[in-house]
Structure 1
Amino acid sequence: MSDWLREAADGSLTLTLHIQPGAKKTGFAGLHGEAMKIRLAAPPVDGKANAALCAFLADFCKVPKSAVSLISGETSRAKRVRVDGAAAGVAARLREQA
């Protein structure tokens, strides 16, 4: 089991992420130490990168945006995100991005 992706008994996922805002395009960029690196096209201004991150993860996990919440790291590149109600195959699809 990867350190960056944890599955809870209630079916939620907790992701440890390293964010690179201001990239050319949004997407997974492999592992960065103990975290999954995600490049975001959004700038790190006025919460735009956080909003783009939640929208990207909601789309990838096929859950509503309201199911994705930032646990910690609002102003940091190191973030922890919770995804509620993810389908069974989502964790495997996320691990494939590493």
Structure 2
Amino acid sequence: MSSHDDAVSGSDNGAVIAIDVSAGCKKDAFPVGYNPWRKAVICHVAARAVGGKANRAILDLIAGTFGVPKSSVSIISGATSSTKKIEILGISRDDVISRLSGLLEP
């Protein structure tokens, strides 16, 4: 079991990832690492957290990372917080963990 496994849970139609977001970074990047205190995968977006721009950037970035349509990704909690839960429809918890394992360094 990898350290980031506890950041991913299953849902009825897909998987949910806990993320820890830093907005206003130099470039978009996901996953950047793992925050063991928040049990969340770290995400950086260049967009500022103004008018929903950062949230839209997060959804686009995660959809691209997992190769799913943008309509399959949504924020289910934490829309105004730096800690969010993102649901990805049509992909299993195991698939998300496998993809993250390939992208995150041990």
- 1:75 partnered with 2:80: yes
CA deviations on 1:33-69 (whole Å, 9 max, x unpaired) are 2110101111111000000000001111111111001
Q: Give the deviation of 1:24 after TM superposition.
A: 0.6
Q: Which residue of 2 aligns with 1:53?
A: 58
- CA contact 1:73–1:80 (8 Å) conserved in 2: yes
* TM-score normalised by L of structure 1: 0.88
Please provide the CA RMSD for this pair.
1.8
1:3 aligned counterpart, secondary structure: helix
Q: Distance in 2 between matches of 1:70 and 1:19?
A: 12
Q: Distance in 2 between matches of 1:93 and 1:74?
A: 24
* TM-score normalised by L of structure 2: 0.82
Report sequence identity in percent: 33
Q: How many residues align?
A: 97
Q: Give the structure with the larger helix fraction.
A: 2
**Residues 7-18 of structure 1: pairs in structure 2 closer than 5 A:** 7-8=10-11, 10=13, 12-18=14-20
Letter of the 1:39 counterpart: H
- 1:21 partnered with 2:26: no
Greater CA deviation, 82-91 or 46-55? Answer: 82-91
1:31 aligned counterpart, secondary structure: strand
